[in-house]
Structures are given as C-alpha cells and as structure tokens.
C-alpha cells in the first residue's frame, strides 16, 4: 500500500464485513479490540431486543431503516468520521451498520442510536415485566380459588376482567399417558392405584364437577348432623365416632397443575374441573372436550358415574316445578338443599330407597328445631321395600316416622303442578300433597353417552358399559364404578352403585391399566345409616323378592353405627374391610329347622338376614352388626347350601352381650 502524503490520512480498503477478503487491514481494523468487543456485545443485545421487543419496536425499526445503510462503504478521508459498529448475532449472517455523510450529521446519528437503543431496551423490559406479571397472576388466582364454592367460582368467572387484562385460561395438555374420564370415587381410586404401581406416572382426571374428587356418602349422612353453621363451605364433618374429616379425598396441594403435568419430572395427578369429554375416538386414542380441545392418551378409564333419575310427572310439569325440585347427587345439591331446608316450610322427598330414607331421617331431625314439615312418599309398602323383607321394611318405616317424618307408603305420583304458591302433588289414589320443595331420590341412570362415538357396548338389561373380567371394554379402555356392567363369577352379570364397589373397581382398573391383568372377583358391600342409632351393612344380591331368613337378637348399647366407627376408626366403614375375607369358617352341625319370620312388632335390635336362591345364600344384610363383613363375604363366595341358618348366624356373634 503506498505511503500517504504528509497531513493526509492513509487510504484504507473498504470493510468487507468480516468475510475475510485477504486485502490486509481495512476500515474496520481502526476500531480497537476493546471497542470492537464492547460494541459487538451491544450489537448482540440490540439484535436480541429487536427480536423480543414486539411490534412497536419492529415498526420503529422499519421507519428508521432508510437512515441506515447495511454494510461498510469506503469512508471519506476525514479525521472526525464515526467509528464502524459491527453487529454479530449467533446463527445469522454478519451485518455492519455504518454511517456516512458529512461530519455535521454526527450528532443526529448519535441521537438516532440512542433512540433505537432506548426503545428496544424499554420494549424488552416491558416484555419481561408482562411475563412475570402473568405468572404471578396465574399463581394468585390458583391460590385464591382454593376453598371457593362452585357458586363463588362461577360468579368470579362471570365477572369481567379488569380493563387491559386478558382472562387466563387453563392450558389443556395435548397428550397424557393415563386419562381418567370422571372425577368421582372410582377415578380417584384408579389414579392412586396407577401411581402406586408406577410412581412416575402422569395421570389426568377430566370431570364436569367443579369440585376436586370427594366421597359421596356423607352428603346424605353425617354432613346433615353437623353443628357447624359453615358446613356447606368447609364440607368437614364429625363422624359418628366424633373424629373430624373432610369429604375430599386429598387437599388441593396433592394435585399438580394440568398444564404442568407433561413437564413434571416425577409425574403426578392433575384434575381438569368443569370439563366434559364429548367424543371418544378409540382407534385414534383421542378424546375431544366440550371446549373443542383434544387430548391423546395411552390408557383411558371411563368412570362417568350416573345422573339422578327424575319422574315423568316432573318432566311434564312447567319450569317452576323443575326449578323447585332437587335431583340429589353432588356437593352442589347438598349446598342447595341445606339452604332451602332453612327457608321453606315444607319439603317432600319422593323415593323410599337408601338415599330417600337417609335424607328423610336427616331432614326430619333437622326440622325439629326449624319447624319444617318433612314428607316422604314412595310406591312400596315400607322404607327400603325393594331391599328389606316386609316385616323389617315396616319396622324401618316406623323408625323414620319417629324422626319426625310424615311417611306415605303406596304412593304413586300422577302429576305435579303449582297451586296458590305451593307445589301440588297428586297421587294415583286421589291423595294430594302440598309442599314448597321436592327432592327426587328415585335412582340413577348410568352416563353412557360416550358409547356412541366410542363404539362401546351397552348392557340392555342393567345398563352401563359391558366389560370383561378385567373391567376392559376395548383395547386401552377400562370402565369402573357405577357405569360398569361386569360379570360376577358367583352371581352373574351385575351393575353396582355403591361406594365400596367404586373403590375396588377403580383400584383394579388402575392396576390393570399398568399391566396387572387381574380379574374382578370382589363381592362389594354397601351400608346405610338412619342416623347414629340404626344402620346396616349388606353384600351380594339383596332383593326383597328373594326368599329370606332372619335371625335376630337383643341389641346392646354398642350395636349402632356410632360404636362401629369407634371400633374401625373410620366413618367410611368399607375402608377398613374393603377386600377382607375370612380364611375359614366352620358351621356346627344341627338339626334342620324351618326358619320363621320374626313376629310382627318385634324390636329388631340386631340380626342377620340371609337372601336365598336355589337354597344357596346369595346375599346377606347385617342389621346393626358391624365389622363382620369378611365372614359374610366368605359365605357367599363358598356358595354352599346350609341346613340350619340359625347356626350360620352364630358366626356373626349376634348373641354376645
């Protein structure tokens, strides 16, 4: 390169943008190494903020772009020219931003760089601020939502968001290994079983209910006997043995966020509340929710439970009748009915089974202090007439009446209307009942809507999804709880609607979803309490149309549900003996006797009722006898004929004081 003349700046080759032209020193080389490193870092920061700064910074960049020329051009031989700023960004071609022009423009160019830097820096800071604010908002909403009633949650969801803020939405995971449809007892039992066998499993529960999984029995039993004025909010109750507990299986802290489920290292159980699965694609291992989102799965459990049946007379009635009728099933129904029971003068319960009789006793006892009239009507001759033999059904009816309930047996509803501000129930025999509110407790209809889109079989006799011995309906599809119609190796095909069955079938389905391949052999039990003083446990086929044999004895002060929970330590009695079975039982020989039904009017303190089919015991009711279910389960499993059932009854120690 020729030497420059005195007083003249050396003539440097143009900058090649760092591509290495091999021409020796260039204009770029005039910048010191320290300046180049510092400016390179600044260039990277500016480029990153341009990338993340949003539309505002991008628009400003477009407006100012004509003022900037990309690349380096030969500069005039002046001492006051601005240095070249090189901007390098990882993964993108090298770029140079050079300023040319007269030295008088240097101030405006400097101002330009300051404006651009300040703009993109501000945009980046604002972006980070919004990310952190949104995360904090989602956390605060999750914490503030714990413990709210469904009504409060709906009210908060319906209120408009503050101006300028978007309404957060729950991100539904696109794929989960284990998908459980339904959020009741069976689904929770399955989730717990899956996690027990696979501690790292990711389980998602999708439920229409706004509540986390909870147990249903206390809704018609202990909760009504609570002295806590806030029981509808706390949903905590004292068991018959005095111990306090919640109806929820686990607190909110037990569960993980649904949107975080796919990323949590050790897995967990997440619950999507207020969501309904409306479509099931068995071949594609995919479900569609009512909000349009889709979830693929590897294993799926259907535990959709059932919907309370209504009466045709109520369905035909107008909107006012329907609005003043409760179909009792969920936590929301308990809250509603508890509030109504304090506001109206009369409540009528239609139905004489477990639920109807339990609610009648609970409301009857509550009505003593409120002065409310409680009426119960049903088509049978006595309470629980489809289950208990007639003499015991009549005794139970008198027990309910002693609780302050006006019981009307042999009552078939013909029509329901409104007259003078009251609901008017007309019976087929001409009787009329005036009331302020109706509670319908006339059975359950299994939820089987998914059978249509999933191509699953429905049992025409019992309803529910037909499953095999392993509770499997199709490949990768299992069913548990009220919605499952299974084959009982001792009693034939059945469908059971009880807590214990939901626990055991859900647990087994969860095990089989993780490869256990176990058959369902369990004889589930159920129980009903007419307050803390009278209760019974039952197992097998208990149908009043079957021949029965009852053996009774005088009860002691310890023969009641309260004492039973004190001995077992739990108010949900099946938890202590869900799968227990006596190993061996020996019935002493005796002379054959023809059992006789107890005399009418006898006080049935405690006893055992055997239900027979072809002289074989297929069902057992333990009346005020508790913690003896393993023996009953063994008798049914053996399936033997017994010459003297009085001797068999001795196995339950009914004559002990």
Residue that wins the pLDDT comparison between 90 and 334: 334
Q: What pLDDT, on the 0 to 100 scale, is given for residue 256?
A: 96
**pLDDT exceeds cutoff 50 at 554:** yes
Q: Cβ contacts of residue 347 below 8 Å, gap of 6+?
A: 340, 341, 363, 367, 372, 373, 374, 375, 435, 436, 437, 438, 439
How high is the mean pLDDT of the chain? 78
pTM tops 0.75, yes or no: no
Distance from C-alpha of 189 to C-alpha of 472, rounded to nearest angstrom: 16
Q: Would you state the structure tokens that stand for residue 426, as one six-digit string?
A: 């007309």
**pLDDT exceeds cutoff 70 at 82:** no
Query: Rounded to a whole number, what is the distance in angstroms from the first to the last CA of the chain?
Result: 121
**pLDDT exceeds cutoff 80 at 347:** yes
**370: helix, strand or coil:** helix
The mean-pLDDT minimum among 304-318, 330-344, 642-656 falls in: 642-656
Q: What pLDDT, on the 0 to 100 scale, is given for residue 368?
A: 84
CA atoms within 13 A on the CB side of 277: 31
Residue 433 parent element (H or E): strand 432-435
Residue that wins the pLDDT comparison between 205 and 245: 205
DSSP states along 332-369:
HHHHHHHHHHTT-SEEEEE--SHHHHHHHHHHHHHHHH
Kindly state the average pLDDT of the residues 456-467. Answer: 96
The mean-pLDDT minimum among 24-33, 280-289, 541-550 falls in: 24-33
The mean-pLDDT minimum among 234-248, 266-280, 398-412, 637-651 falls in: 234-248
Helices and strands, counts by H and E, the chain: 16, 31
Report pLDDT digits (tens) over 320-334.
Answer: 999 999 999 999 999
**pLDDT exceeds cutoff 90 at 68:** no
Report pLDDT digits (tens) over 616-631.
Answer: 999 999 998 888 899 9
Q: Cβ contacts of residue 19 below 8 Å, gap of 6+?
A: 94
pLDDT band at 144 (very low <50, low <70, confident <90, very high): very low
């Amino acid at each position: 390169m020729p030497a420059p003349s005195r007083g003249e700046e050396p003539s440097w080759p143009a900058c090649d943008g760092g591509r290495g032209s091999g021409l020796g020193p260039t204009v770029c080389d005039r910048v010191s190494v320290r300046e180049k490193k510092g400016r390179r870092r600044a260039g990277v920061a500016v480029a990153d903020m341009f990338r993340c700064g949003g539309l505002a910074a991008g628009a400003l960049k477009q407006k100012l772009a004509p003022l900037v020329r990309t690349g380096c051009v030969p500069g005039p031989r002046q001492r006051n020219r601005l240095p070249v700023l090189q901007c390098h960004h990882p993964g993108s071609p090298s770029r140079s931003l050079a300023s040319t022009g007269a030295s008088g423009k240097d101030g405006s160019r400097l101002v330009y760089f300051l404006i651009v830097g300040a703009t993109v820096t501000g945009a980046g800071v604002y972006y980070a601020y919004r990310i952190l604010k949104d995360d904090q908002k989602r956390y605060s909403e999750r914490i503030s939502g714990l413990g709210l009633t469904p009504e409060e949650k709906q009210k908060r969801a319906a209120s408009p968001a503050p101006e300028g803020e978007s309404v957060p939405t729950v991100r539904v995971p696109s794929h989960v290994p284990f998908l459980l449809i339904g959020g009741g007892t069976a689904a929770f039992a399955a989730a717990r079983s899956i996690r027990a066998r696979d501690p790292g499993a990711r389980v998602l529960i999708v439920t229409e209910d706004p509540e986390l999984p909870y147990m249903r029995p206390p809704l018609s039993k202990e909760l009504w006997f609570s002295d806590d004025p806030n029981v509808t909010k706390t949903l905590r109750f004292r068991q018959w043995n005095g111990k306090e507990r919640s109806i929820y299986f686990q607190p909110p802290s037990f569960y993980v966020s649904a949107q975080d489920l796919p990323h949590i290292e050790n897995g967990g159980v997440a619950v999507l509340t207020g969501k309904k699965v409306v479509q099931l694609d068995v071949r594609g291992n995919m479900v569609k929710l009512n909000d349009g989102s889709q979830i693929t799965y590897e294993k799926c459990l259907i535990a959709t439970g059932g919907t309370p049946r209504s009466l045709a007379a109520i369905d035909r009635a107008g909107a006012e009748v329907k609005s003043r009728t409760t179909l009792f099933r969920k936590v929301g129904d308990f809250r509603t009915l508890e509030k109504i029971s304090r506001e109206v003068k009369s409540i009528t319960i239609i139905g004489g089974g477990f639920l109807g009789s339990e609610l009648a006793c609970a409301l009857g006892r509550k009505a003593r202090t409120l002065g409310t009239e409680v009426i119960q009507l049903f088509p049978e001759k006595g309470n629980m007439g489809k289950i208990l033999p007639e003499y015991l059904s009549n005794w139970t009816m008198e027990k309910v009446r002693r609780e302050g309930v006006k019981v009307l047996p042999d009552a078939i509803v013909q029509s329901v209307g409104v007259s003078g501000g009251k609901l008017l129930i007309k019976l087929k025999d001409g009787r009329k009942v005036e009331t302020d509110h109706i509670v319908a407790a006339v059975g359950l209809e299994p939820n089987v809507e998914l059978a249509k889109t999933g191509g699953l079989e429905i049992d025409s006799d019992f309803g529910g999804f037909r499953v095999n011995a392993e509770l499997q309906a199709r490949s990768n599809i299992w069913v548990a709880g009220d919605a499952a119609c299974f084959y009982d190796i001792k009693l034939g095909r059945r469908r059971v609607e009880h807590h214990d069955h939901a626990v055991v079938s859900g647990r087994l389905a969860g095990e089989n979803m993780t490869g256990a391949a176990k058959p369902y052999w369990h004889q589930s039990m159920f129980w009903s309490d007419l307050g803390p003083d009278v209760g019974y446990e039952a197992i097998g086929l208990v149908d009043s149309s079957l021949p029965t044999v009852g053996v009774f004895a005088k009860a002691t002060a310890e023969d009641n549900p309260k004492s039973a929970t004190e001995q077992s330590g739990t108010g949900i009695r099946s938890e202590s003996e869900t799968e227990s079975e006596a190993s061996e039982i020996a019935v002493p020989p005796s002379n054959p006797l023809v059992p006789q039904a107890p005399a009418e009017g006898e006080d049935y303190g405690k006893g055992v009722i055997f239900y027979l089919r072809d002289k074989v015991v297929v069902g057992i009711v333990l009346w005020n006898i508790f913690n003896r279910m393993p023996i009953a389960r063994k008798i049914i499993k053996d399936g033997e004929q017994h010459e003297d059932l009085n001797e068999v009854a001795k196995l339950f120690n009914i004559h002990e004081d």
